[in-house]
Structure 1
């Protein structure tokens, strides 16, 4: 249940907090770039085995100019600190989200995703 409308249908206040406190608050603070925030967030999610949010934040990282190879390296690096099972859980999420795609296919996939978000 990561879709904004699904969250809103179950917990409107949680959906509002997500937008106002996280998206329009925390993520816009000075001091860290959005790419750096993506790395930190993904590290925390992976370390805690929080699969439900990983795809969303992997997609955010790609939006912030991280390359699929960088995401792969992030998972590999974190395996040593957060554990192999958590890293393999992230691999399971990533295998469905752009890893291994060539640049042209990745570009098409990202443009299509952005168009769906805008709709």
Structure 2
């Protein structure tokens, strides 16, 4: 059984990785004006799906919602990815969305 790490649990296990994630990834990369947070969320969900990183997908589904992406848009992105990332990857990502809706 895998555990999804979030900021608090990541900080407990690896304070430096949590610090770098916050400072570099979220306070710098996610704030760059060339892409909106909404676009970054869709790109991130696509990359995680294509790479099979399903443990990270639930957190990013929630973050995408905070960034204005609807569940319907997330489902459509995963459906679209079935043809580029593979059917199993898309179905696994959709399973994460279904789990998050419960």
What's the TM-score, normalizing by structure 1? 0.79
Deviation at 1:41, TM superposition (A): 0.7
Q: Gaps spanning 5+ residues in structure 1: where?
A: 100-119
1:52 counterpart SS class: coil
More helix per residue: 1
List alignment gaps of at least 5 residues for structure 2: none
Give the paired residue count. Answer: 99
Give distance in 2, aligned partners of 1:3 and 1:43: 20
Asked which structure has the greater RCO (Cα within 8 Å, sep 6+), the reply is: 2
Q: 2:58: which partner in 1?
A: 55
Q: Deviations over 1:25-68 (max 9, x none)?
A: 10001100000000111110000000111011111111111111
Return the index of the structure with the highest Cα Rg: 1
Q: Quick one: distance in 2 between partners of 1:41 and 1:22? A: 12
What TM-score do you get using the length of structure 2 for normalisation?
A: 0.91
Compute the RMSD of aligned alpha carbons.
1.2
User: Which of the residues 63, 82, 85 maps onto 1:82?
Assistant: 85
SS in 1 for 2:62: helix
Mapped to 2, the partners of 1:22 and 1:82 lie a distance apart of 24
Moved over 2 A (4+): none
1:11 to 14, 22, 31: 14
The 8 Å contact of residues 6 and 59 in structure 2, kept in 1 or not, is answered as: no
Question: Which range moves more in the overlay, 3-12 or 13-22?
Answer: 3-12
